[in-house]
Amino acid sequence: MSDKSDLKAELERKKQRLAQIREEKKRKEEERKKKEADMQQKKEPVQDDSDLDRKRRETEALLQSIGISPEPPLVSTPSDAGSQDSGDLGPLTRRRLHKLGVSKVTQVDFLPREVVSYSKETQTPLATHQSEEDEEDEEMVEPKIGHDSELENQEKKQETKEAPPRELTEEEKQQILHSEEFLIFFDRTIRVIERALAEDSDIFFDYSGRELEEKDGDVQAGANLSFNRQFYDEHWSKHRVVTCMDWSLQYPELMVASYSNNEDAPHEPDGVALVWNMKFKKTTPEYVFHCQSSVMSVCFARFHPNLVVGGTYSGQIVLWDNRSHRRTPVQRTPLSAAAHTHPVYCVNVVGTQNAHNLITVSTDGKMCSWSLDMLSTPQESMELVYNKSKPVAVTGMAFPTGDVNNFVVGSEEGTVYTACRHGSKAGIGEVFEGHQGPVTGINCHMAVGPIDFSHLFVTSSFDWTVKLWTTKHNKPLYSFEDNADYVYDVMWSPVHPALFACVDGMGRLDLWNLNSDTEVPTASVAIEGASALNRVRWAQGGKEVAVGDSEGRIWIYDVGELAVPHNDEWTRFARTLVEIRANRADSEEEGAVELAA
């Protein structure tokens, strides 16, 4: 709208200028014609006087020829003659002098000073004599009004800029140094400079919270994801897919990633697990482990900082020890009917320091419990069967925080189940239906706070959705449908009650803060190359998130202020859940009414 109004105003100014130019030309033309008329009138009496003199001379000559002199009458009446002469010659003399003056005035008919106008990068002289047809046919372009004044203003500004600043007196300097504004500025800036000199991390974080208070809403400036670094090894990562990742509890800077086989290198080991170090800038892995089958799942053995557990495509469970000089497993389970014979996508160490077990589940629905000291035989095994006849093809498993007995599993059919390890209801319990494709990721709520949300869990699927569930209801509480490709993994933040991350096949990482919005992600980032992202894992502190792609690369992102929970996040999330339940109840009622109709 502003462009149209400016254009309209410009056209009005051009019309006014055009009218002014035409009025000026008309006035000059009238003056010129008037002056020419005056000149003509002045010349006519002179011409008449010259004819009279000629006739007088002829008459005098004729009188002299017959002997009569014309002078006596003139002499006898000197007053008359004088008056006549004066009356005849006076005006003539004056007219002749005035004639010379008029010849000078005629200079105004010459072309006036050339006026140069600048309009639309075209320079044209303003013509003073134009025919009426030219005036009617030609559209005159209005010169920019105030162009000279603008140039003068620019010159004044340049002179002002070029003028050297006035040097302050000692009294003025002391007044500034002791002013409150300067002291506040100096107090904050000195800390920033000290950080800049000593650290290479984010030195502009303000702990006073002034910047956060000035922001509107909960999504602050620090909510954006920022790329930290990438883990990739040209030999061990190339042409392999990242299948699983885990962070160490004892050493938070360490993470382990498992990789599938490299079809372009048949002589290389099929399974690889690499331990990466976030603390140092080196580009090579801290440890390299491998085995003869693709590693589908991996984790650090909780309470054993030196052990790494892997589940393979062949069904074997392998155990690596970084204290050993061998890159191959120090222990492995047998390929027998007593153990797993199908791919193992789930490995997890649960329990306490003095009583813990390794829990594994394969895609044939078999769950085994192991002691890390002896992997030759499982301590317990169970067939996860629904309705005592249908084996559950498990693709994911998750234990609620602090629970070692109850867990949830996702299946290839898209169904989610609750299950129990011990008790009268051991095995598959409730059924949760909602996904239209295989469940690719499942994770239970992990953040511990004043309100218990351990009954919540999220799932991802090939149906392009992420769903929020509660173990208290067999229908999803909410479905997040912002993705346009397979959603391969999902995970709750370990510190923020309303925050979770998910990744999809288009290479996009999304962070959802349900306290801010449930319709669109709070923050998103797409990796370079748009390779499919297979796995996502939060660091234990919740400040970094790692994602693995189909090209063997691991991307580390700093989450920033979005991951830091405020004191009221738990109560706000409780209110959000109440609203979600109310909306779900309303939609169910509307659906029932439509079915009845």
DSSP assignments along 564-577, one per residue:
SPPTTHHHHHHHHH
What is residue 596's predicted lDDT score, i.e. its pLDDT?
Answer: 56
- pLDDT: which is higher, 186 or 132: 186
What is residue 317's predicted lDDT score, i.e. its pLDDT?
Answer: 93
Range with the lowest mean pLDDT among 121-130, 232-241, 359-368, 508-517?
121-130
Average pLDDT over residues 114-130: 51
Residue 548 bridge partners (DSSP): 535, 554
- pLDDT: which is higher, 293 or 144: 293
188-200 pLDDT, tens per residue? 787 778 767 776 6
Report which DSSP code applies to 80: H
| 84: pLDDT strictly greater than 70 | no
What is residue 224's predicted lDDT score, i.e. its pLDDT?
Answer: 75
pLDDT band for 210, please (50, 70, 90 cuts). Answer: low
Q: Pairing mode, if any, of strands 554-558 and 226-231? A: antiparallel
What is residue 409's predicted lDDT score, i.e. its pLDDT?
Answer: 94
pLDDT band for 91, please (50, 70, 90 cuts). Answer: very low
Rg (CA), the chain: 49
| 174: pLDDT strictly greater than 80 | yes
Average pLDDT over residues 486-491: 94
Average pLDDT over residues 34-60: 71
What is residue 191's predicted lDDT score, i.e. its pLDDT?
Answer: 72
pLDDT band for 145, please (50, 70, 90 cuts). Answer: very low
User: How far is CA 421 from each of CA 206, 357, 383, 408, rounded to the nearest angstrom?
Assistant: 48, 12, 11, 11
| 120: pLDDT strictly greater than 80 | no
8-34 pLDDT, tens per residue? 888 888 888 888 898 888 888 888 888
φ, ψ for residue 449 (rounded to 5)? -160, -165
Report which DSSP code applies to 1: -
The span from the CA of 560 to the CA of 221, in Å, is 9
What is residue 360's predicted lDDT score, i.e. its pLDDT?
Answer: 94
- Which residues have C-beta within 8 Å of that of residue 466, sequence separation ≥ 6? 458, 459, 460, 479, 480, 483, 487, 490, 500, 502, 512
Average pLDDT over residues 546-563: 91
pLDDT band for 85, please (50, 70, 90 cuts). Answer: very low
Most confident stretch, 57-66, 214-223, 401-410: 401-410
| 499: pLDDT strictly greater than 60 | yes
pLDDT band for 280, please (50, 70, 90 cuts). Answer: confident
pLDDT band for 150, please (50, 70, 90 cuts). Answer: low
DSSP element (H, E) containing 296: strand 295-300
The span from the CA of 527 to the CA of 545, in Å, is 13
Average pLDDT over residues 543-559: 93
Average pLDDT over residues 275-285: 88
Nearest to 481 by CA among 498, 501, 460: 460
Range with the lowest mean pLDDT among 167-171, 212-216, 444-448, 500-504?
212-216
Q: Which domains, ranges and CATH numbers included, belong to the chain?
A: 233-383 (2.130.10.10), 400-597 (2.130.10.10)
pLDDT band for 135, please (50, 70, 90 cuts). Answer: very low
| 511: pLDDT strictly greater than 90 | yes
Side chain identity at 255, as an amino acid letter?
A: M
SS3 341: coil
What is residue 86's predicted lDDT score, i.e. its pLDDT?
Answer: 44
Average pLDDT over residues 567-593: 83
Most confident stretch, 8-17, 223-232, 380-389, 498-507: 498-507
What is residue 562's predicted lDDT score, i.e. its pLDDT?
Answer: 87
Average pLDDT over residues 111-133: 52
What is residue 56's predicted lDDT score, i.e. its pLDDT?
Answer: 80
| 103: pLDDT strictly greater than 60 | no
The span from the CA of 481 to the CA of 523, in Å, is 15
What is residue 160's predicted lDDT score, i.e. its pLDDT?
Answer: 57
Mean per-residue pLDDT of the chain: 80
216-269 pLDDT, tens per residue? 444 443 457 899 999 999 989 989 999 999 999 999 999 999 999 988 888 899
What is residue 197's predicted lDDT score, i.e. its pLDDT?
Answer: 76
Instruction: Find tokens 């155990």 and name the residue.
Output: 319
DSSP string of 367-435?
Answer: EEEEBTTB-SS-SEEEE-EETTTEE--EEEEE--TT-SSEEEEEETTS-EEEEESSSTT-EEEEEE---
What is residue 2's predicted lDDT score, i.e. its pLDDT?
Answer: 63
What is residue 561's predicted lDDT score, i.e. its pLDDT?
Answer: 86
What is residue 92's predicted lDDT score, i.e. its pLDDT?
Answer: 41
pLDDT band for 88, please (50, 70, 90 cuts). Answer: very low
Maximum Cα–Cα distance for the chain, whole Å?
173
- What is the percent of the chain with per-residue pLDDT over 70, rounded to a whole number? 76
* Alpha helices (H) along 168-325: 170-177, 180-198, 210-214
Stated pTM of the model: 0.62
- Residue 188: HSE in the Cβ half-sphere, 13 Å Cα cutoff: 13
| 70: pLDDT strictly greater than 80 | no
What is residue 324's predicted lDDT score, i.e. its pLDDT?
Answer: 84
What is residue 17's predicted lDDT score, i.e. its pLDDT?
Answer: 87
255-279 pLDDT, tens per residue? 999 999 988 888 899 999 999 999 8
DSSP string of 430-450?
Answer: EEE---SS-EEEEEE----SS
What is residue 387's predicted lDDT score, i.e. its pLDDT?
Answer: 82
DSSP element (H, E) containing 50: helix 2-65
CB atoms within 10 A of CB 70: 13
